[in-house]
Each structure stands twice: as C-alpha cells, then as structure tokens.
Amino acid sequence: MRRIGIMGGTFNPIHNGHLAIAEKARQQFSLEKVLFMPSGVPYMKDQREVLPIQVRCEMTKLAIENMPDFELSRLEASDAALGKNTYTCDTLQKLRHADPEPAYYFILGADSLYAMEDWKNPELIFHSCTVLAAVRMEDMDSEGGTCGQSENLGSQQARLKEQVRYLRKKYQASIEILAFAGMDVSSTQIRAMARKGDSLQGLVPEAVETYIQKNCLYKSDS
C-alpha cells in the first residue's frame, strides 16, 4: 500500500526543523512522499501573528523546491480563501475522498497528543490516519544528564507513553513515536530574529531567508 505523509502547520515561517522531521518520517516509515500543507485559517492561533496564506505557501514552496520527495499542498489554503477555519478532520476527509488508496501518516509534535481531544472530531482523525508524534531524540534518552535532569526527563517520557496508551485504547488510534535528531528552533524565535534583522542562516533554507528579507516580513508584527 502506498504511504503518504502529511506535514501540516502554520509555517510562519517554515524552518529547517520542519524539514528534518519530515525527512525522518519519510525514511523511517517508507513514505512515498510528504505533503507540506500550510494551515489555511488556524483557528487556535492569534490571527494577528499569522501571515497571509499566499505568503506562507510561497515560503513553503521555496523551502522544498529542490526536494522531490516533498510536495506543497494548497488544500487548506482553499478554506482560507473562503474565510473558513481549518480543521484536521475535514482535511483528512478531503484527502481520502480525492485519493482513497494510500495510507496517510499525519506528522505532528508530540506535545499535540495532549491537546488532540480538544480538536474537532478527534475520533475521525484517529480513524483516518496513523499519527506520527515527533520528539527529539535527546528528550527520549535521559542518559548523560544530571540527576535532576534525568528524573525530569524520565517523568516526561512516562507521561508521553501513558498518553499514547490512553489514546490508543480510547480511539483505537494508530500512533507511532518519531524520534529525530532535531534542532532547537521555533518559528516564534525566527520571527523575533527577523524583526531585529538578525541572520537566519542555518535556521531556514537560504531561499526562505532571502524571501523574508526581500519582502521585509515580520518587521511590523508584535
């Protein structure tokens, strides 16, 4: 069976951490391709901080243009054009309607597992795809830290494993942990750096940094 990954997110902006997670998922789960899907109207975020969908799509396109296993999907952008909120359950149903054959793998940060029951129709999400919960390798291996750090890390690991067990039992969910050697970077951090005019080298693809600088993005947000 064909396997297709879905890398959703605001991508405000997309950064190298997103790309690293997607590539790890593609390799580990033998995905045919990964769809990068900028959120149309992410209803759980402050809209004042989110750039227009067309701009976020363009940055995403630039970030993956030389990566044949990655593909830009504008599926949720169509909801934004109509002023509609973006819901993962609806997106998955649209994908399955358009192409019902593949097995879909939805990639998200492991922290999202604690919030998914607050999403619209979580049972439909879990029945429509396998969830890949991304967590940094260092957060899954407590060796080498101080005693306090190890205890805290062990507690986090235990909490995550319990949440996975809980969701699997309640929703018959297919959930896999995706451990990756990630970078400690966030879109929030990058926006703050862009506002100050700092270099984004190594944090975002070169083409994305050029696009941000050329269009003076994030200079006026707060």
Query: In this structure, are strands 103-109 and 70-72 parallel, antiparallel, or unpaired?
Result: unpaired
Distance of CA 137 to the CA centre of its chain: 17
**Is the entire prediction scored with pTM above 0.85?**
yes
d(CA 218, CA 50): 10
The band of 146, judged by pLDDT with boundaries at 50, 70 and 90, is very low
Q: 11-67: per-residue pLDDT in tens?
A: 999 999 999 999 999 999 999 999 999 988 655 555 667 899 999 999 999 999 999
Q: CB–CB of 102/130 below 8 Å?
A: no
Q: CB–CB of 70/64 below 8 Å?
A: yes
Residue 88 DSSP code: H
35: left (phi over 0), alpha (psi -120 to 50) or beta: beta
